[in-house]
Amino acid sequence: MNPYPGKNSVFIMDNARIHHDEDLVKSIEVFGCRVLYLPPYSPDLNPIETAFLALKSWLKKYRDVANNCDDPIYILFVALSQTTSSIFN
């Protein structure tokens, strides 16, 4: 994996309001990076949406385990450990 942010890197973000914050954009551009935004309503172009879907599916499938766990961070780690790169194929 190449180090980033570096000069000529492209920072791709969705259209969340926070991502359009002028200070945020300037703090990225100061490193020589370019900011690009995904088209509105395009979760198919945003790989994190696939990961979120897998995480939510696991939590729904194992709802009883998740609800009985006192540590929400732990249960997220368990759910994420069950999610493999095959979800992106």
- Give the integer Cα–Cα distance in Å for 23 and 47: 25
Contact 41, 64 (CB under 8 A): no
pTM over 0.85: no
Question: How far from the centroid of its chain's Cα atoms is residue 70's Cα?
Answer: 25
What b/e string do you get for 56-76 counting C-beta neighbours within 10 Å, with b at 16 or more? eebbeeeeeebeeeeeeeebe
Q: What is the mean pLDDT of the chain?
A: 85
59-89: per-residue pLDDT in tens?
999 999 989 989 999 999 998 888 776 665 6
